Amino acid sequence: MNVEITRLASGLTVVTETMPHLESVALGVWIKSGSRNETEDEHGIAHLLEHMAFKGTARRSARDIAEEIENVGGELNAATSTETTSYYARVLRDHVPLAVDILADILTESAFDEEELRREKHVILQEIGAANDTPDDVVFDKFSEVAYRGQTIGRPILGTPDTVKGFTPGQIRNYLSRNYTTDRMFVVAAGAVDHATFTKQVEERFASLPMTPSSPPVLETARYIGGDVRETRDLMDAQVLLGFEGKAYHMRDFYCSQILANILGGGMSSRLFQEVREHRGLCYSVYAFHWGFSDTGIFGIHAATGGNELPTLVPVIIDELRKSSETIHQQEIDRARAQIRAQLLMGQESPAARAGQIARQMMLYGRPIPNPEMMERLEGITTERLTDLAGRLFFDTAPTLSAVGPIEQLAPLTDISTALSTPGIQTKKAAG
Residues marked active site are found at 50
Residue type, 8: L
Which burial class, exposed, middle or buried, applies to 252 when counting CB atoms under 10 A from its CB (0-12, 13-18, 19+)? Answer: exposed
If DSSP states are collapsed to H, E and C, what string results for 69-117?
HHHCCCEEEEEECCCCEEEEEEEEHHHHHHHHHHHHHHHHCECCCHHHH
* Rounded distance between C-alpha atoms, residue 139 and residue 235, angstroms: 13
Write the CB contacts of 192 (distance below 8 Å, at least 6 apart in sequence): 18, 19, 20, 22, 23, 24, 25, 92, 93
Where would I find the H helices in 294-403?
Answer: 310-324, 330-347, 351-365, 371-379, 383-395
Provide the CA 338 distance to its chain's centre, in angstroms.
23
Half-sphere exposure of 99 (CA within 13 A, CB side): 28
* Rounded distance between C-alpha atoms, residue 208 and residue 67, angstroms: 25
* Rounded distance between C-alpha atoms, residue 21 and residue 23, angstroms: 7
Angle between helices 169-179 and 45-52 (to 10 degrees): 100
Instruction: Classify 397 as helix, strand or coil.
Output: coil
Instruction: Classify 330 as helix, strand or coil.
Output: helix
* Rounded distance between C-alpha atoms, residue 26 and residue 356, angstroms: 9
* Rounded distance between C-alpha atoms, residue 167 and residue 424, angstroms: 52
* Rounded distance between C-alpha atoms, residue 84 and residue 414, angstroms: 36
Whether 402 and 233 have beta carbons less than 8 Å apart is answered as no
Question: For the chain, what's the residue count?
Answer: 432
Whether 298 and 280 have beta carbons less than 8 Å apart is answered as no
Instruction: Classify 402 as helix, strand or coil.
Output: strand
Strands, DSSP E only, in 217-323?
Answer: 227-232, 238-245, 285-292, 297-305
